Structure 1
Amino acid sequence: MKIRPLWRDEVREVDRIAIEEFGIAGIVLMENAGRDAAAWITARFPPGDVCILCGKGNNAGDGYVIARQIETAGDGTWPVRIVSIVDCGELAGDAAINHAIAQRAEIPIAIARDDQSLRDLVGNPDVLVDCLLGTGATGPPRGLYAEAVRLANRLPTHRIAIDVPTGLDCDTGIAADPTFRASATLTFVAPKIGFTQPSATDFLGQIVPIAIGVPKKLLSRYQAES
């Protein structure tokens, strides 16, 4: 089934209906998303150092799942670490739960508190994953979010955006200054409507839809016209 591009409000609605009407826990959707994103990364690239940049919302929660799934699947061949640009006490809900699981799994988690520590902690990874801001974000990244995007764009690495590149408005396709310049965007359920705009093209790279376990009965409401 081919799903048409979704608006920001439709993304929220899909999540809400899956949780409230179908009884799928939000943390299950997050686990599915992170697992399949991790599987794509490990299938696409040779084993190497993976750094995941995390903020504080559900996009960060996806990042904690991705880190754990890569670490579990890699059997030591995929060193993975998380660089958070917020104190982890700011996390809530499913993101906080997955942070706690990652901690117990002894996945390295470091907190960047300024530009210098951010540069030192990120280093020069083989794969850099953007889990800073998700589809709910509007306006340009600020503070350490902005510096993390600028740093990422300077590095000679594979840059993977999760759901949407940080700085790109998923409705309008307008890229803020700065916007994460992805070599691939792993987007959940379906591409977002803003991805169809020419202004978004240079920041998306390869667009890879990732299923998160939403039932076909629900997805059929958003089916593309043939």
Structure 2
Amino acid sequence: MAGMKGLGCGGLCSMRVLSREQVRRLDRDAVELLGIPSLLLMENAARGLSGVIQQCRQQLGQLSGGRIVIIAGPGNNGGDGLAAARLLAAEGVFAEVFLLRGTRQLSADTTANLGFLQRAGLEVEERSEQGVCDVLRGLCSSDLVVDALLGTGLRGAPEEAQSAVIEAINTSGARVLSVDLPSGLDCDLGTAAGACVRADWTVTFAAKKLGFLQPESRRWTGEVQVCPIGIPRNWAGWPGIADC
């Protein structure tokens, strides 16, 4: 973004590129072969995300004000956002968290992180798409929206309610940080079949996504930063290709 310094995530970058199916395989094999609990993978992702949120706050001058609004969906992307909200609160930074569940069941790890927040007395508001859109209309350029709505599993256009929230994010005037990839972007193609978040930054986990190799994806992702999730980089079980 013009006039903004680049973000960092522990100084690490990834030379790997993962497709949608390779992301699923990596997550599965990390659990089944390495024995890393899926909840720990989410915690590691959230720790990287919360660190990038803190960097965004500094760049936006939020140390003296400004809102952080996390829009979480029912899948693991939403769980990353919920866990990041808890980690931020542990540092005295309190985000407004809105869960857009719709008719979908929460993933198991997202359910766990919702419980962690609630038992800690941290508020998570479940709202309709209209309620979330109303919140987004009240934001300005010093505010930060964390887009944790949709993840790599999306194929085709988002649902109508999700599309309404995506459009509200894009017109809110706030800066936007997307989690793993902008909601609405196809992980493999790097294109959008419908509404898609236009992010200023994207923090993606473990490796770049295949669609990020397409030059046109940059209009949606903004600056991309890769954060590790605790899988050793020299592990022989890594799928994916080199991007160079």
Please report the RMSD computed on the Cα atoms of aligned residues, expressed in angstroms. Answer: 2.0
Cα distance in structure 1, aligned partners of 2:95 and 2:206: 25
> Which amino acid is 2:33 matched to?
E
User: What TM-score do the two structures reach when normalised by structure 2?
Assistant: 0.84
| 1:224 corresponds to | 242
> Using the alignment, how far apart are the partners of 1:202 and 1:83 within structure 2?
26
Q: Secondary structure at the match of 1:161?
A: strand
CA separation of 1:106/1:202 partners in 2, compared to 1, >3 Å: closer, same or farther?
same
Query: 104, 117, 137: which is aligned to 1:102?
Result: 117
> Structure 2 unaligned runs (5+)?
1-12
For 1:69-80, what aligned pairs fall within 5 Å after superposition? 69-73=87-91, 75=92, 78-80=93-95
User: Deviation at 1:195?
Assistant: 0.7
Judging changes above 3 Å, is the alpha-carbon distance between structure 1 residues 113 and 36 closer, same or farther for their aligned structure 2 residues? Answer: same
Task: Give the equivalent residue in structure 2 for 1:118.
Answer: 132
What CA distance in whole angstroms lies between the structure 1 residues aligned with 2:236 and 2:118?
Answer: 34
SS in structure 1 at match of 2:122: coil
Check conservation: 1:64, 1:98, Cα contact below 8 A: yes
Q: Given that residues 17 and 243 in structure 2 are in contact (C-alpha distance below 8 angstroms), is that contact kept between their aligned partners in structure 1?
A: no
Which residue of the partner structure matches residue 9 of structure 2?
A: none
Instruction: Choose from 207, 221, 224 the match for 2:224.
Output: 207
The percent identity for this pair of structures is 33
User: TM-score of the superposition, structure 1-length normalised?
Assistant: 0.91
Which residue matches 1:65?
83
Number of equivalent positions:
222
Aligned equivalents of 1:213, 1:6: Cα separation in 2: 16
2:186 matched to 1:156?
no
C-alpha distance in 2 between matches for 1:174 and 1:14: 23
Q: Does 1:21 align with 2:33?
A: yes
1:47-86 alpha-carbon deviations (Å, 9 max, x no partner):
331111111111111110111111112x2xx331111112
What is the CA–CA distance in structure 2 between the aligned matches of 1:200 and 1:225, rounded to whole Å? 15
Greater fraction of residues in helix: 1
Q: For residue 6 of structure 1, report the CA deviation from its aligned partner.
A: 1.0
**Unaligned stretches of 5+ residues in structure 1:** none
Which residue of 12, 15, 27 maps to 1:3? 15
* Alignment-derived partner of residue 7 in structure 2: none
